[in-house]
Amino acid sequence: MALNNLNVLDIEAKHEQDFRRTILVVDDEPVNLRLLGNILKDEYDIAYAETGDEALLEIRTQKDFLSLVLLDLHMPGGNGYMVLDELKNNDELSNIPVIVLTSDNSAEVESLRRGAIDFLNKPYDRPEVIRARVRRAIELSIDRNIIDATGKDSLTGLLTKDYFFQYAREYDKFHPEQEVDAVVVNINKFHLINELYGRNYGDKVLCTIADGVRSFARGCGGVACRDHADRFYIYIEHQDNYDYLTKTLADRLIDITDKHDIHFRVGIYPDIYHSVNLEQRFDRALHASNSISKNSSQDVVAVYDNSMHEKELYEAKLLDSIEKALLDKQFNVVLQPKYDITGDEPRLCSAEVLVRWKHPELGFVRPDFFIPLFEENGRIKELDRFVWREAAKQIKRWKDMYGVTMPLSVNVSRVDIFDPDLLDFLQGILEENGLEPKDMHLEITETAYTDSVITIVDVVNSLREAGFKVEMDDFGKGYSSLNMLTSLPIDALKLDMGFIKGIAENNKDLSMVEFIVNVARFLEVPLIAEGVENSEQYLLLKKAGCDVIQGYYFSKPVSTSEFGHLIERSIER
């Protein structure tokens, strides 16, 4: 096993520490003992034994000092196999490496199977070869012991990622033709498990998954590790299906989850010729796992396929063009009207500002595709700031033109929450345009709240203290507990459109909406419904007590000039 730099240092330190190592030579023929002793005595201290029983006695008393045993197989008084079996089955002794001494070729495989790490053929006519193999055996065992001590993840006992990749690379080297699978296992909504049930329970879940992953990997002759948090990697020979893995994990989870469902997702990248590098293969397995909804209430397996590859290429192209797109101002904003429906007639009360990107080669790119990409690549701040500034300028233009202030709501990415200049920037653009904070509403997605409760509560509190109205976007997607909701600072709930889709056809969906209307009442905030597409949905929502509606039923997102006309008309009424 090759070592990385750090471990080489560790080993050197160890070499220096106990400079001369001890080797036990076991053989019933004194001439052999003398011969081996003479070959090795310049470099090592030598202990001798002439029978298996004597050898075991010696090993037990010297166990902390022995670096290697050279073991003859055929001896009176307990043969070599007996010694091997004793060592293998004793945790305290199983770390001591053994090289068997034999003139019988057929015994080699059997002794390796019983735990020997190498063999030397009698007669001993090539001292150099013997010395080299002894040296190598000792080094290998030090590697292994260091891996045992430091290459393990302290929580789960699985390998660390570094060692895992080292193993996997070695495996590839020796098995270039073997089809192998890179497998990633993630737990759905793990941070919520931690938050709702406590870290100890979270750790228990991780250890349970780790046990399952380990036992599956071992059973298939592979290795497993924990990358970080709730992400596990497995590297094994290609499997036709992963039913056994999902069953192993599900069975173990059942033992610890009596009332709550914990689910996981598995992504797989099979690769017959190791054509892409190891890290890339795990990236692709991760990609496959990320293609599965994190909200799934089932355990799902996804295999990386061509469509995922195409998507990755498309993403890479978009990533390459972000810089230029920002410089060339390829973005513009559209507005989707919001109507207050609490009175007899719907009344235009605001609009959501939505960004649009027309890529010079790829054409129109969907925001739900490029926004996450900008978020992941640290560019969302620039884009959002551009959108917010456009919004502020637009409110000011209409204020000058029509003498009314039409508040606009802008989306604030979860990433913006961590920007220490957020409040200053927002206040700055409002001041530039002679506006007040209440003129700009901020939509923050519910999942941002559930992802990082503490930071967001602080930030939202300071925004609200400064006078901004904060709307919780896509409510219902993020699993806020009722308990959590009552302590969250917000000015409006914006229902996720998934809830609206089925209300006309499905009583259960309608009851859910009615329930959420009650939650909004309880929190004393208005309920906004988005994605309302037809009159049935509109009427049901009105009847249920929803306050504001946004959706294709009233209007698709429109240009700023079209929205200007809508304001004009609403003033004329």
198, burial (CB in 10 Å: exposed 0-12, middle 13-18, buried 19+):
exposed
Query: What does the per-residue mask of binding to Mg ion show for 341-370, with x meaning CB under 5 A?
Result: ------------------------------
Question: Which residue's CB is nearer to Mg ion, number 43 or number 340?
Answer: 340
Taking CB under 5 A as the binding criterion, the range among 172-180, 186-194, 322-330, 407-415 that sits at the site for Mg ion is 407-415
Candidates 27, 443, 446, 491: give the one binding Mg ion (CB under 5 A): 443
Task: Give the separation between CA 194 and CA 314, rounded to whole angstroms.
Answer: 35
Q: Which is nearer to ligand C2E, 526 or 551 (CB)?
A: 551
The H-or-E segment that residue 520 falls in is helix 507-523
Indicate the SS3 state at residue 181: strand
Least CB distance to ligand C2E at residue 366 (A): 6
Q: Single out the residue of 36, 142, 371, 490 in contact with ligand C2E (rule: CB under 6 A).
A: 371
- Inter-residue contact 308 to 291 (CB < 8 Å): yes
Tokens of 552: 């294709």
- Interface stretch with ligand C2E, choices 7-15, 79-87, 131-139, 363-371 (CB under 6 A): 363-371
Among 181, 390, 474, 547, the residue binding ligand C2E under the rule CB under 6 A is: 474
Residue 230 interaction partner, one of Mg ion, ligand C2E, none, beta carbon < 5-8 Å per kind: none
User: Does position 552 bind ligand C2E by CB under 6 A?
Assistant: yes
**CA separation for the pair 94, 83 (Å, rounded):** 11
Any contact of residue 557 with ligand C2E (CB under 6 A)? yes
Distance CA 199, CA 387 (A): 39
Cα(first)–Cα(last) distance of the chain, in Å? 81
Q: Using alpha carbons, list the distances in angstroms from residue 452 to 62, 457, 482, 486, 569.
A: 55, 9, 16, 16, 42
Q: Examine residue 549 and tell whether it contacts ligand C2E (CB under 6 A).
A: no
Does 560 interact with ligand C2E (rule: CB under 6 A)? Answer: no
Select from 72, 143, 474, 491 the one that contacts Mg ion (CB under 5 A): 474
CA–CA separation, 469 and 460 (whole Å): 9
Binding to ligand C2E by residue 354, rule CB under 6 A? yes
| Residue 530 touches ligand C2E, criterion: CB under 6 A | yes
Dist. CA 471–CA 547, nearest whole Å: 13
Q: Which residue has the tokens 């929803």?
A: 546
Give whichever of 193 and 353 is closer to Mg ion, judged by the CB atom: 353
329 binds ligand C2E (CB under 6 A): no
Phi and psi at 174, nearest 5°, equal -90, -15
Residue facing Mg ion at closest CB distance: 443
Whole-number minimum distance, CB 473 to ligand C2E, in Å? 5
Site for ligand C2E in 171-190 (CB under 6 A): none
Please identify which residue in 96, 138, 387, 408 interacts with ligand C2E, judged by CB under 6 A. Answer: 387
Q: Which of 37, 115, 270, 367 is in the footprint of ligand C2E by CB under 6 A?
A: 367
Q: Is 230 in the site for ligand C2E (CB under 6 A)?
A: no
Distance from C-alpha of 356 to C-alpha of 63, rounded to nearest angstrom: 71
Residue in the structure block whose two tokens are 């012991």:
145
| Nearer to Mg ion among residue 111 and residue 447 (C-beta) | 447
With CB under 6 A as the contact rule, the residue among 64, 258, 368, 505 that binds ligand C2E is 368
Alpha-helical segments (H) within 304-421:
306-327, 367-376, 380-402
How far CA 70 is from CA of 32, 130, 374, in Å, comes to 11, 11, 61
Choose the binding region for Mg ion from 87-95, 104-112, 333-341, 404-412 (rule: CB under 5 A).
404-412
Number of residues that bind Mg ion (CB under 5 A): 4
* Contact region with Mg ion (CB under 5 A), list: 26-34, 328-336, 410-418, 533-541: 410-418
Q: Is the Cβ–Cβ distance between 239 and 175 less than 8 Å? A: no
Closest CA to 73 of 101, 98, 47, 48: 101
Q: Is the peptide bond before 420 cis (omega within 30 degrees of 0)?
A: no
CB 540 within 8 A of CB 510: yes
Alpha-carbon distances of 14 from 69, 139, 280, 343, 508, rounded to whole Å: 19, 11, 35, 81, 67
Is residue 390 part of the contact set for Mg ion (CB under 5 A)? Answer: no
CB nearer to ligand C2E: give 183 or 528: 528
Using DSSP's 3-state secondary structure scheme, residue 304 falls into coil
Interaction with ligand C2E in 397-416: which residues (CB under 6 A)?
A: 411, 413
Q: Does 355 bind ligand C2E (CB under 6 A)?
A: yes
Binding region for ligand C2E (CB under 6 A) = 336, 354-355, 366-368, 371, 380, 384, 387, 411, 413, 443, 473-474, 530-533, 551-552, 557
Q: Which residues bind Mg ion (CB under 5 A)?
A: 411, 443, 473-474
